[in-house]
Amino acid sequence: MKNIAKKYSKRQPKIKAEMSGKGLTVHAGLLPVLNFMGKLMFRERVHEAVHKDRGANARYQFVDAVQMVVIGLIAGATSMVEVMKVCTDEVLKKMSGWKEVPVDTTIGRIMKLASQGDIVELTGVIHRFRGKIWKRAVRSGHKLRSALCEVWIDVDSTVDGVYGKQEGAEVGYNPHKKGQKAISANLF
């Protein structure tokens, strides 16, 4: 029986995957986002709301930093370093019109130029974008009843062990360290 199985079994061919083609990107899903930002005139609206013009010799303006951060957040970045890793993609740089991408500390320094009033203005820009998108959706004739009547809230909880006397911590279910004080966090 063993001989028959060996006789008819084929060896799996060795396949070498090569990702050296020009224009390949792992962030291809962000290209429609960039096109969408262009249709909304994202850069112009942010510049109108927040007039943070830097010097004539500055390579990056406040609008560039905001766009990089928004694209990075949409891609799932959780820090400025990860935002810059996303933005260093060659295809993204070409589509965005960036010649180079600054380091994370430069973007952080540019973002610190925003004051509380600028943040309020940016919030207003977000509301205007949202209104424009909903207006387009209503005009297109698509039925929005399903989007407006059903709301799903996904709730999960986790247990974070704590040390010392922290407010809200109590001994409860903790599968990793039984008897340790923990905070039960609800995730939405």
How many helices (H) and strands (E) the chain has is answered by 9, 3
pLDDT of residue 149: 62
User: Do 183 and 175 contact (CB within 8 A), yes or no?
Assistant: no
User: Do 185 and 160 contact (CB within 8 A), yes or no?
Assistant: yes
**This model's pTM is above 0.75:** no
Could you tell me how far CA 108 lies from the centroid of its own chain?
16
Phi, psi dihedrals of residue 16, rounded to the nearest 5°: -105, 115
| pLDDT over 60 at 8, yes or no | no
User: Do 123 and 136 contact (CB within 8 A), yes or no?
Assistant: no
The more confident residue out of 52 and 148 is 52
Q: What is the pLDDT of residues 121-178, one digit of tens each?
A: 999 999 999 988 888 877 777 666 555 666 667 777 777 788 878 777 778 777 777 8
| pLDDT over 60 at 40, yes or no | yes
| pLDDT over 80 at 99, yes or no | yes
Q: What is the pLDDT of residues 12-33, one digit of tens each?
A: 556 565 556 666 667 778 888 8
Structure tokens at 27: 């962030």
